[in-house]
């Protein structure tokens, strides 16, 4: 097995340099822990960008993977397979939608939602051909395809990748006035939004924002599309971030003011517990049925292995009460981070919901503070990664215990104090 040094130099020499990783190599994972080749143990506070909500190598998910891998892995959608149907019934019931369209990566699911939304606009709303527009928010992150980066405002994501796909209107996040104005355009097909902006630095909107945004969309006959690839599946202390204060562990008959049901729901990441790429778009039949045979697809989308893994991953979320655990631990975490903010004066803001949290570092301490703290956290046994700007995101697996969380809070507090 290559050492940490060897692994890093191999990646440097033979891999494209499209990432700037923290200098740590991981060779094993179990629950909330990961290890490097030399046997050093770390708490994982990134969870692969919230893909590993169920913890690393969850035995139930791995068992499902193994059993299905030995039986049937891929048929393509040229034929039916005997896991896709049961999965579709399970996942639609779980989230409370009529229909699901299975894909693999998050970006593919976002592309799928964009295509469904446009098609709906032409065929149901009567928008003239090629004129459909989708409203998006500044500082969004929805993936890396050419169309998706067309509506990014991150120069790294965009520069020298043009020409871009037209048909997107950018408005400020958490700004209902701008949304209202943008919706006056009759060719608007929908609005695509992250219920909490993850990559932008865990930006939590005002508490009535999502509800009002969806209502404005509906008043103007436009679809409300929630990208819950990062926020969904228990991460924010509810099954979906659009569930607001409802902490039930599966689809329930929520009060309308507790649940902002989107017209299109986009899931990925933790849909497989980080075991395998599984993504999905969910919608009710009147919207999903605009897609007919031959109009969209994916060779691997809906394959038996993905379906088995996803069922197990979602069962774990319910069996282990991950929504209420995330909610409970999140409250403790933010309280302790607020204390650290008061104590050190190095932190300008603490924000988040459930176990998707961030601290923003004071710029006066230097623009590299977040990175430097993350390097030091690694030395102290905890892995986190800076997001855009001087911000550290903290998103451990949701299977963490309260005792482990307190140990992690100690590591973070001790590390931040070293920078005072």
Ligand X SMILES: *Cc1c(COP(=O)(O)O)cnc(C)c1O
Selected from 55, 190, 198, 232, the binder of ligand X by CB under 6 A is 198
Using CA atoms, how far apart are residues 20 and 396, in angstroms rounded to an integer? 20
Q: How many CA atoms lie within 13 A of 357 on its CB side?
A: 26
Q: Are 224 and 244 in contact (CB under 8 A)?
A: no
Residue 172 CA to chain centroid, in angstroms? 20
Residue nearest ligand X, CB atom distance: 106
* Structure tokens that stand for 347 in this block: 């932190």
Distance CA 227, CA 186 (A): 23
Least distance from ligand X to the Cβ atom of residue 104, Å? 8
Residues 148-177 that bind ligand X (CB under 6 A): none
Shortest spacing between CB 205 and ligand X, in angstroms: 14
* Candidate residues 84, 225, 229, 365; the one interacting with ligand X per rule CB under 6 A: 229
Task: Please state the closest distance from residue 24 (CB atom) to ligand X, in A.
Answer: 20
Q: Least distance (Å) from ligand X to the CB of residue 127?
A: 25
Query: Is residue 141 among the annotated active site residues?
Result: yes
- Say whether residue 230 binds ligand X (CB under 6 A): yes
Residue 171 or 202: which CB sits closer to ligand X? 202
Please select the residue that binds ligand X; options are 31, 55, 102, 106, rule is CB under 6 A: 106
244 contacts ligand X (rule: CB under 6 A) = no
Pseudo-torsion of CA 185, 186, 187, 189, nearest 10°?
A: 100
Q: Are strands 188-193 and 28-30 parallel, antiparallel or unpaired?
A: unpaired
* Residues in 30-69 at the binding interface with ligand X, rule: CB under 6 A: 49
Given 55, 102, 143, 354, the residue binding ligand X (CB under 6 A): 143
Residue 107 near ligand X by CB under 6 A: yes
- At its nearest, how many Å lie between ligand X and the CB of residue 225? 11
Shortest Cβ 363–ligand X spacing (Å): 25
Q: Closest approach of Cβ 63 to ligand X, in Å? A: 24
Q: Does 105 bind ligand X (CB under 6 A)?
A: yes
The residues near 25 (Cβ < 8 Å, ≥ 6 apart) are 4, 7, 8, 36, 37
Q: What are phi and psi of 280, to 5 degrees?
A: -160, 150
Rounded to a whole number of angstroms, the minimum distance from the CB of residue 106 to ligand X is 2
Instruction: Tell whether residue 141 is a contact of ligand X (CB under 6 A).
Output: yes
The three-class DSSP label of residue 188 is: strand
Of residues 119, 133, 269, 378, which has the active-site annotation?
269
The binder of ligand X chosen from 58, 118, 142, 254 (CB under 6 A)? 142
Stretch that binds ligand X, among 171-179, 223-231, 392-400, 408-416 (CB under 6 A): 223-231
The answer to whether 268 contacts ligand X (rule: CB under 6 A) is yes
Should residue 227 be labelled a site residue for ligand X when binding is judged by CB under 6 A? yes
Q: Which is nearer to ligand X, 170 or 328 (CB)?
A: 170
Residue 122 to residue 128: CA distance in whole angstroms: 6
Is 271 a binding residue for ligand X by CB under 6 A? The answer is: no
Distance (Å, whole) CA 183 – CA 135: 8
158 vs 289, which CB is nearer to ligand X? 158
The answer to whether residue 98 is catalytic is: no
From 42, 141, 300, 394, the catalytic residue: 141
353 lies in the binding site for ligand X (CB under 6 A): no
Nearer to ligand X, 31 or 198 (CB): 198
Helix (H) or strand (E) holding 397, with range, is none
Answer for the pair 216, 180: CB distance below 8 angstroms, yes or no: yes
Cβ neighbours, 10 Å, residue 93 = 11
Number of Cα atoms under 13 Å in the Cβ half of residue 419:
26
Across the chain, which distance is largest between two alpha carbons, in Å? 62
In angstroms, rounded to a whole number, what is the distance separating the alpha carbons of residues 199 and 101?
25
Distance (Å) of CA 8 to CA 20, 41, 144, 208, 377: 11, 18, 24, 46, 19
Which of 17, 292 has the CB closer to ligand X? 17
If you compute the radius of gyration of the chain from its CA atoms, what whole number of angstroms results?
21
Residue 352 in contact with ligand X, rule: CB under 6 A: no
36 part of the active site: no
Tokens of 20: 């700037």
Which parts of this chain interact with ligand X (CB under 6 A)? 49, 105-107, 110, 141-143, 194, 198, 227, 229-230, 268-269
Active site residues: 141, 227, 269
């Amino acid at each position: 097995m290559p050492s940490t040094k060897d692994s890093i130099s191999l990646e440097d020499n033979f891999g494209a340099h499209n990432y700037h990783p923290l200098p740590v190599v991981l060779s094993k994972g179990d629950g909330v822990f990961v290890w490097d080749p030399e046997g050093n143990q770390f708490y994982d506070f990134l969870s692969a960008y919230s893909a590993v909500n169920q913890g690393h190598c969850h035995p139930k998910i791995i068992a499902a993977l193994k059993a299905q891998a030995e039986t049937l892995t891929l048929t393509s959608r040229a034929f039916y397979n005997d896991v896709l149907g049961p999965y579709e019934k399970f996942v639609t019931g779980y989230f409370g939608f009529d229909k699901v369209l299975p894909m693999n990566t998050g970006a593919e699911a976002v592309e799928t939602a964009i295509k469904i939304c446009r098609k709906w606009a032409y065929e149901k709303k009567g928008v003239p051909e090629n004129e459909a527009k989708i409203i998006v928010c500044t500082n969004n992150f929805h993936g890396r395809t050419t169309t998706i980066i067309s509506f990014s405002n991150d120069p790294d994501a965009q520069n020298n990748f043009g020409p871009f796909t037209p048909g997107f209107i950018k408005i400020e996040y958490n700004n209902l006035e701008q949304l209202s104005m943008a919706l006056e355009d009759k060719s608007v097909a929908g609005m695509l939004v992250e219920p909490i902006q993850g990559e932008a630095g865990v930006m939590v909107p005002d508490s009535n924002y999502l509800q009002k945004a969806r209502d404005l969309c509906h008043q103007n006959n436009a679809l409300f599309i929630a990208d819950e690839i990062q926020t969904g599946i228990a991460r924010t202390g509810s099954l979906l971030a659009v569930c607001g204060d409802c902490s039930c562990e599966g689809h329930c008959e929520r009060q309308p003011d507790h649940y902002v049901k989107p017209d299109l729901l986009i899931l990925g990441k933790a849909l497989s517990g980080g075991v395998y790429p599984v993504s999905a778009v969910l919608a009710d039949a009147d919207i999903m049925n605009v897609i007919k045979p031959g109009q969209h697809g994916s060779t691997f989308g809906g394959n038996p292995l993905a379906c088995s893994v996803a069922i197990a991953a979602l069962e774990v979320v319910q069996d282990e009460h991950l929504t209420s655990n995330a909610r409970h631990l999140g409250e403790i975490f933010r309280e302790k981070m607020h204390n650290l903010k008061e104590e050190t004066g190095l932190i300008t803001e603490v924000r988040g919901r459930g176990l998707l949290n961030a601290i923003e570092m004071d710029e006066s301490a230097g623009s590299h503070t977040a990175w430097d703290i993350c390097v030091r956290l690694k030395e102290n046994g905890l892995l986190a990664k800076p997001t855009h700007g001087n911000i550290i995101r903290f998103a451990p697996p949701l299977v963490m215990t309260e005792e482990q969380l307190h140990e992690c809070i100690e590591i973070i507090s001790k590390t931040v104090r070293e920078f005072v």
